[in-house]
Amino acid sequence: MTDTDILFSPVTMGAVELPNRVLMAPLTRNRAHPDGTPWEVAQTYYAQRASAGMIVTEATQVTPYGKGYVGTPGIHDPSHVAAWKEITDAVHAEGGRIYLQLWHVGRISHVSLLPDGATPQAPSAIRADQKTFTANGFEDCSEPHAMTVEEIGEVVEAYRTGARNAKDAGFDGVEVHAANGYLIDQFLQDSTNRRDDAYGGSIENRMRFLREVLDAVTSVWERDRVGIRLSPLGQANDMGDSDPEGHFGAIYKMLSDEKLAYLHVVESFYGTETKSEERDVLMRLRKLYDGFYIANGSLDAETASRVIASGHAQAATFGRPFIANPDLPERFRTGAELNLQDQDTFYGGDETGYIDYPFLKAIEPV
């Protein structure tokens, strides 16, 4: 049995002291109001999980044109800020720490989800061989249009506004979502970026949009309260790159120089097997990043402990286990059995499968 004590040793992540290294991954739950305002019950959902070393919220769009799934929240309207403030207050009242994940889906969208039936925004007009979740269920992604330079600038400003709104909503920091085939990732990888201007072609050009987003976000937040999420293996949402190791190597080096609070890496995807050569790539890339590193991907208490003890990561995020186990750190600490997950209630629905999973010890009503 692997010693899991290391999961419960405090650690400093940028400007934030984490009481443990069992962090909650961003988890889309599709329960926000149609206008992007978080559901009121989300206050309970996140507060229940405040024992995490840190919570990263579900991905949250910075503009109405960045929405890709029905029922996802936004951070671009005063109503969003007010609702998120209720959530951060609830988490802080339970002693927790919470970061907002800033998001734009790019081409992983459908015209029915966007204002006035607009087409999705993307670096290039390449349709994703992927489905997204609309009011009619799963539908093929719509064909996107290639963003103009003016549109790119508008989206960068939307990230700045989203970062400012997140600060007003009382978050402890923000995470820039640059993973899993969404807009920033689409600019980074050459299967989705065929531009011939300053935002395409060379790796440096393809990183330009990410750099501009980071400049915008860090104009609002100190760098030690800004993190970023990457998925260098590119296994989600019809992604790929001709030279992933060389390409992400340049990104890791750039991010190391940026001196952000952390780099959060999706090292494997649920339901897929990471090949040995892919694992080797991840190990080589890790050596290029000098900073706080968070590992993600089908981890449990034992494997996360080994990853942290080896020095590969300083903390780990857990997704599905946190859905079904609001007190996951305590279950890991005591070796208790985990609750069974009800996958039918992961996306959309009511309070069932959202706030009704049992704790090890019943919470006494106030």
Backbone angles phi, psi at 56, to 5 degrees: -105, 125
| Distance set, CA 321 to CA 23, 78, 80, 261 (Å) | 11, 32, 27, 25
Q: Which residue has the tokens 């599709």?
A: 30
| Whole-number Å distance between alpha carbons of 225 and 362 | 34
Tell me which of 69, 182, 262, 289 is the catalytic residue: 182
- 100 in helix, strand or coil? strand
Number of helices (H) and strands (E), helices first, in the chain?
Answer: 11, 14
Torsion angle of C-alpha atoms 111, 27, 236, 100, degrees rounded to 10: 80
Quick one: tokens of 112?
């029915």
| Whole-number Å distance between alpha carbons of 50 and 96 | 4
Q: Which residue has the tokens 């966007």?
A: 114
| Distance set, CA 312 to CA 19, 29, 89, 129 (Å) | 19, 30, 33, 34
| Distance set, CA 227 to CA 33, 139, 258, 265 (Å) | 27, 32, 10, 11
* Known active-site residue 65: no
DSSP category for residue 74: B
> What is the per-residue DSSP string for 202-240?
SHHHHTHHHHHHHHHHHTTS-GGGEEEEE-TT--SSS--
Backbone angles phi, psi at 32, to 5 degrees: -75, 160
Distance of CA 107 to the CA centre of its chain: 17
* Catalytically active residues, by annotation: 182
